[in-house]
Structure 1
Amino acid sequence: MATTAGAFIAGGIAACGAVTATHPFETVKIRMQLQGELQTKGHQPHHYRGPFHGVSVIVRNEGIRGLYRGIGCAYVYQVLLNGCRLGFYDPMRNRLASLLLRDGAAQNLGVNMFCGASSGMIGAAAGSPFFLVKTRLQSYSPFLPVGTQHNYRNAIDGLSQIYRAEGFGGLYRGVGAAMIRTGFGSSVQLPTYFFAKRRLVRHLGMEEGAPLHLASSTVSGFVVCCFMHPPDTIMSRLYNQNGNLYKGVFDCLGKTIRTEGILAIYKGFLPHLARILPHTILTLSLAEQTNKLMRKLEIKMLPAPTLGKA
């Protein structure tokens, strides 16, 4: 394992590679989560009906550029989120296991989930302003608008408009929902990945390599999507709101369920799954390779005592 700094860089690079491939489905997911917002059944628009239908609609009306709205913010957010999540998870787990179990190498589900959630929440808080602007850029459509529309020229314009209108606090609108959402996902992502990896090695005799990484990250991605999607829907609505439509996480959850029904919190689940499966597979598989690369670089560049503390 690379040092904490090395793992942070490796995790950020891996996540940027993954988000390049999966960003279009994220755009569709956000628009599906926002269409019909607080409208009763039977009065809701269905501009975007699923992952592939949504992609085709956006391409026809807005071109490829429409699918990749907010990609710059997505890169910054992924570096901060996954840098923290993949960079801090193992050091936190080792220290906590050493403290509680007297063995830093010991595996414990509770410790793993706590460290996964904690590292993810740190990353979500750090990257929240960029996810806020990314959500608003992706939800904007001059052809088939859904939800509140925010017409920003780019990420810098979005950040400056929000700061001028709402101050520094406005940049962190919805950060609580973002931390809950990422805590849910992170609490199961890495523990599920390593759990699946150990079981596949033990019971199916798989060896270290790309097939093992692919299978383990597929299992992890599906579990993450199931856990994370409801708070993800709430977060998208809190981020995209104009003014104070929602007072907070629970107010948004209550209004959504009362007006649109319980299944509304799973709007956009299929494009989310279509995004998160390849995203998780690519992030975790690439992270294995970028970690190895960072470790080799650190061996050449850093003195042995520094590496021994990783």
Structure 2
Amino acid sequence: MVDTKASDCQTIGFFYGVNGKKLQRQYKDYLSDFKSWDQKSHAQDWLLFAKNLGRYLSLDETAFSNGELYTIVTNKDAKGKKGAIVAMIKGTKAEVVIKILCMTPLKERQKVKEVTLDMAGNMGLIVKKSFPEATLAIDRFHVQKLAYDAVQEIRIKYRWEAIDAENEAIELARKNSLKHIPELLPNGDTLKQLLARSRYILYRPSNKWTENQSKRAEILFKLYPDIEKAYRLSQNLSWIYNNTEDKTSALVRLAKWDEKVRQAGFKSFNTIAKTMSIHYLNILNFFDNRSTNASAESFNAKIKAFRAQFRGVRNVDFFLFRLTTIFA
């Protein structure tokens, strides 16, 4: 309990009338096991907890401070609690991560049956070299995010055009000593506002829109058919993931989706389709167990909350010690 309760010594010090900074130093130097921590000498470069290795893992990356990336391997069975961290390795270079993970005996690493990850090439290489018996399952949310981003890219392009048009109209009105009055759409938005306020609704299925969102979408799609077409493509991809139970059906449905993409003629969606065709085997592996990287994303959120609680990371070694004391 001391470790978790001491996470904010300033607050504790305030309540008990003692100097928070001194209390924090006392905790770090005397009350905790930080000085005798067996991984302290290499903590900033790598941490390995081989005993936490499980059959189902997640592989992801996160930033601690100043954008410094760490590759994190987590055990899904721990559900983001004690025993979750298998390894934390500074950087994303595959050869470095593989070297650290291979410190664990091959016999133990061969017990790993599945690893969920994103589509980054280095991540796939890490899994293949470190866990030779594991199936690679690409996380559905990384695939869907590409489609959502493609929709937003089209919306943003039209938004910049609307901003330019409004600026030109304002300048023209000033030259003629007139006051510029923007045209209002049926829902009260200007064109610029419509495109800005439509961001959220393009992430959601239409059956979850509010009445105002439905009106906004109706106007948006009438003025910009391209946005509607892109939105339908992204939602169709989500439907495939939500309503497909086996690889065979998934392969057929994704092939049909690919054809729709080609017919639509959007450059960004064509890029997504090509990316998916390269990784299609690992994408299809999702449908075996419907495994996602949600546990890894949740753990990343916990790390960020942990970092925010400490108001940043001043002493990286001590931060890692406290983090691993709770989660490893």
Fold match, TM over 0.5? Answer: no
**Higher relative strand content:** 2
Larger relative contact order (Cα-Cα within 8 Å, sequence gap ≥ 6): 1
Quick check: which has more Rg, 1 or 2? 2
Please state which structure has a larger fraction of its residues in helix. Answer: 1
